């Protein structure tokens, strides 16, 4: 069963049957909840998945700031208003969504049973220049000359030569009777990019099982990040997904789903906490 719902703050889509344990997915920068649709279908019927559009993305409202504590508060309110009605949920976050998920777990631990952080660390992230370039490229697109999505793709070929990246970014382009417009709040995301790249200082720990997944070819999870991760999340298990870059769930979907199934179905994932295990 698939249903779509929108509460006062955030838009979400639910895939799976009522009564199954719930896993909530939080996407990364430029993403949308629907990016996890195939993963959610692969997890059903054992798990019910809730795919959330974070603020300033997808069909969720725009806000005045991308500050992680503010965004995490909105997610916590969303969870408390519905998904956790039957108990704490499993929370999965990729990249920016991983940072949001970590802040939710640290500030509202009663809402989260198990946490999965995908290819990001609780530190200042490298690579802000890449995202600046992408945001500037999208903002520079002349929407007045775009009559169809292929026109936008053609304009972006110069600054963004990777076809897969362009396709991912162009998911944010929406057409209406008045023409094309960006669904994501590009101006705010560009302004608050330093905050998005950072991570708040929080005097808290989350003492539940945590799966920390990294892509073998990604620079976002480094050995020097491990101390901070395990300070905040002492029951962390690190899994490195072979052959994956930053987009672990789309580059190696079978390995990603397999790791989720093992972790979310395990009786106790803390026995090997801190051990690095290859996956894929």
User: Helices 96-107 and 68-81 sit at what angle, rounded to 10 degrees?
Assistant: 70
Per 3-state DSSP, the chain is made up of helix, strand and coil in percentages (nearest 5) of 40, 20, 40
Catalytic residue among 86, 147, 187, 276: 187
In the block, tokens 């006062």 appear at: 8
Decide if 77 is catalytic. no
Decide if 121 is catalytic. no
What is the distance in angstroms between the CA of the first residue and the CA of the last residue of the chain?
29
Catalytic residue among 49, 246, 249, 251: 246
DSSP 8-state code for residue 180: E
Catalytic residue among 12, 60, 95, 218: 95
Decide if 95 is catalytic. yes
Distance in angstroms (rounded) separating the CA atoms of residues 118 and 266: 18
User: Can you list the alpha helix ranges (DSSP code H) found in the chain?
Assistant: 37-43, 68-81, 96-107, 128-139, 149-156, 163-169, 186-191, 193-197, 226-232, 248-251, 253-265
What is the set of active-site residues? Answer: 95, 187, 246
């Amino acid at each position: 069963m698939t249903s779509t719902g929108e509460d006062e703050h955030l838009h979400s889509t639910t895939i799976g049957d009522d009564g199954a344990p719930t896993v909530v997915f939080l996407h990364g920068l430029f993403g949308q909840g629907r990016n996890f649709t195939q993963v959610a279908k692969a997890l059903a019927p054992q798990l019910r998945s809730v795919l959330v559009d974070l603020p300033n993305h997808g069909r969720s409202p725009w806000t005045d700031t991308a500050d992680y504590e503010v965004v995490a508060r909105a997610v916590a309110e969303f969870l408390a208003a519905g998904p956790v009605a039957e108990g704490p949920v499993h929370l999965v976050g990729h990249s920016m969504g991983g940072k949001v998920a970590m802040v939710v777990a640290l500030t509202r631990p009663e809402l989260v049973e198990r946490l999965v952080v995908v290819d990001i660390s609780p530190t200042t992230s490298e690579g802000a220049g890449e995202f600046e370039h992408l945001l500037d490229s999208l903002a520079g697109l002349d929407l007045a000359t775009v009559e169809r999505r292929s026109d936008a793709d053609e304009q972006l070929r110069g600054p963004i030569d990777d076809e897969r990246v362009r396709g991912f970014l162009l998911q944010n382009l929406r057409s209406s009777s008045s023409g094309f417009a960006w669904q994501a709040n590009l101006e705010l995301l560009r302004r608050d990019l330093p905050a998005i790249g950072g991570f708040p200082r929080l005097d808290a720990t989350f003492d539940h099982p945590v799966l920390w997944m990294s892509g073998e070819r990604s620079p976002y999870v480094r050995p020097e990040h491990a101390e901070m991760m395990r300070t905040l999340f002492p029951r962390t298990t690190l899994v490195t997904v072979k052959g994956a870059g930053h987009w672990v769930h789309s580059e190696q979907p079978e390995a990603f789903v397999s790791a989720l199934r093992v972790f979310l179905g395990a009786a106790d994932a803390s026995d090997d906490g801190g051990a690095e295990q290859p996956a894929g």
